[in-house]
Amino acid sequence: MKRLFAFVLACAGMLNALAQAPQPPEIAAKGYLLLDVTSDQVLAERQPDVQADPASLTKLMTAWLVFDAIKAKKLTLEQTLPVSLRAWSERKGGGSLMFIDTPMTPKVDELLRGMIAVSGNDAAVALAEGVGGSLDNFVAMMNRQAQAWGLKNTQFKNVTGLTEAGHYSSARDLGVIATHIVRDFPEHYAAYYALRNYTYNNIKQDNRNML
């Protein structure tokens, strides 16, 4: 899936204060944003508000809503979730997979690892169904949260990031979502987003985030 823009999140302690702002890098992206989440300082940007296909960065909002459900005690990390035929059918979509199967009942923790580390679309669907009851309900939750945060250039149509008409976001809006993950759920951010690889169903996959 071709990404039309890039988003880079600079985490706390990773960037030192700059005496002089450098020229923004030239990269093959429709728009990008380099953000220090400690200070909210934008270090570099290019067309950060342009609407584009967010691809798998869609899963940032999917993850935030799952973390929020855990905080609200609507589910736990050790809770198991069924693998629906809809989740299994992601194998036919051509996207990245965790390779869950029916009648497996993976734990929420396992699904989060599969969605975040290896960008598993099947894991994202299983989590969305577990939290929202249905994909339609969960997508509605995603859009309500986007509106609550004032994300003016974001509209979700699915939970995975597969290309779909009317499914878009911007580098700035994705920066807001990522910042909320870091600040609202630091324990989950530390546990999941630093994974270098993940093995499930005897299949080992490297983290798709090269950073």
39 among known catalytic residues: no
Residue 107 in 3-state DSSP? Answer: strand
Considering only CA atoms, which of 148, 165, 80 is closest in space to residue 156?
A: 165
Type of residue numbered 124: A
What are phi and psi for residue 119, nearest 5 degrees?
60, 40
152 among known catalytic residues: no
**Eight-class DSSP state of 71:** H
Q: Catalytic one among 56, 96, 169, 170?
A: 56
119 among known catalytic residues: yes
Distance of alpha carbon 96 from alpha carbon 21, whole angstroms: 37
Q: Catalytic one among 30, 39, 59, 170?
A: 59
Rg, the chain, Cα only: 17
Q: Catalytic one among 30, 71, 119, 169?
A: 119
Q: What are the residue numbers of the active site?
A: 56, 59, 119
